[in-house]
Structure 1
Amino acid sequence: MRTVTFSMNISIDGYCDHTIFNPDEELHDYFTAIMDDVDLLFFGRVMYQLMFPYWADVAKNQSGTADENKFAERLTAIDKVVISRSLASAENNTRIVRSNPAEELRKLKQQPGKKILIDSVSLLPELIRAGLIDEFNLVVHPIIVGRGRPLLAAGSLQENLNLKLIDKKFLKSGYVALHYLKK
């Protein structure tokens, strides 16, 4: 059975607005390394549209820094599933699923392969409740924003999800990368 990993950047106060973060070379390298063990990305529509076509363009044109180009190449090479009722089309190695994300992820988890990486705040509560997420990679950025989308909305879970910290990395720019397993 494949491992399902939720991965997200968050502010110190728990918000997940990628437009306010300023990743550096070390952070790009961290996420590129995580993707070495991943062969499927599982996105919601909002995150998919935030990440693509931007990173696909960087990979194609090599328009970023060396670390950004490497991240973009790795990200775009991995197969993707995007959950959306409204997205009309998706690029290249991306498949759109219109309904029942938990059931789709359950089927994918049973297939052979490497890890499945989830990057979707909107799908997180449903997938936690379904018991489908095995581990969490959270990168805490040294910023307090006081606004935006929280990692989990109040009341979105009926029970606590207990986690075990198995690794932590302190990055030079003040980021803290935390790797948890579900207990």
Structure 2
Amino acid sequence: MRKVSFGMNISLDGYCDHTLGEPSEELMEYFTEMMDDVDMLFYGRVMYQLMFPYWADVARDRSGSAAEVRFAERLVAIDKVVVSRSLESVDGNTTIIRNDPAAELRKLKQQPGKTISIDTVSILPELMAAGLIDEFYLVVHPVMAGGGRHLLDAGSLPKSFKLDLVETRTFKNGCVALSYRKRE
């Protein structure tokens, strides 16, 4: 059975906003390394539209730093599933699913393959409640956002989830990567 991992950049006060962080070569290399064991990305519509076409353009045009281009090339090569009722079409190696993301992810998890990476907060509570997420990777940025989208809204989970800390990694730019595994 495949592992499912959830990853997100967050502020110290728990908000998810990609514009708050200060990416570095070291952090981009970390994200690229994380993708080595991933062969499927599972996105909600908003995250998909945030990530693509941006990273596809970086990979095609080689318009970023060397670390950004390596990350972009790896990201673009991975098969993607997008949960959306409104997207009409997607590019390349991307599939749209319209209903029941938990059931779809459960089917994908049972297929052979590497890790499935989830990078979206909109369906996180549903997938956690279904017991589908095995690992959590959070990169905490040294910033207080003061507003935006929380990682989890109050009351969005039916119960608490206990996790075991697997690894921490500190970066020169002040970011801290935290890796957790679901406690059995």
Give me the TM-score of the superposition, normalised by structure 1: 0.99
CA deviations over 1:115-170 (Å, ceiling 9, x no partner): 00000100100000000000000000000011000000011012100000011101
Alignment partners' CA distance in 2, 1:52 and 1:22: 20
SS at structure 2 position matched to 1:67: helix
- How much does 1:20 deviate? 2.1
**Aligned-partner SS, 2:9:** strand
Map 1:19-38 → 2, pairs under 5 A: 19-38=19-38
Q: What is the DSSP-based 3-state SS (H/G/I as helix, E as strand, rest coil) of the residue aligned with 2:26? A: helix
Q: Which amino acid aligns with 2:111?
A: Q
Give distance in 1, aligned partners of 2:38 and 2:104. 17
Alpha-carbon displacement from aligned partner over 1:48-70 (angstroms, at most 9, x marks no partner): 00000000000001010100000
SS of equivalent residue, structure 1 residue 58: helix
Once the two structures are TM-superposed, the CA of residue 24 in structure 1 deviates from its matched residue by 1.0
Gaps of 5+ in 1: none
1:63 match: 63
CA distance in 1, matches of 2:71, 2:115: 17
**Deviation per residue, 1:5-58 (Å, 9 max, x gap):** 000000000000112222111111001000000000000000000000000000
In the TM superposition, structure 1's runs of 4+ consecutive aligned residues that sit over 6 Å from their partners are none
- Maintained 8 Å contact 2:20/2:143: no
Q: CA separation in 2, counterparts of 1:123 and 1:72? A: 24
Same amino acid, percent of matched pairs: 66
Aligned position for 1:18: 18
* TM score, norm. by length of structure 2: 0.98
d(CA) in 2 for partners of 1:161 and 1:31? 25
Structure-2 separation of matches of 1:87 and 1:57: 20
- Give me the whole-angstrom Cα distance separating, in 1, the residues matched to 2:73 and 2:81: 17
When the two structures are aligned, how many residues end up with a matched partner? 183
Give 3-state SS (helix, strand or coil) of 1:95's partner.
strand
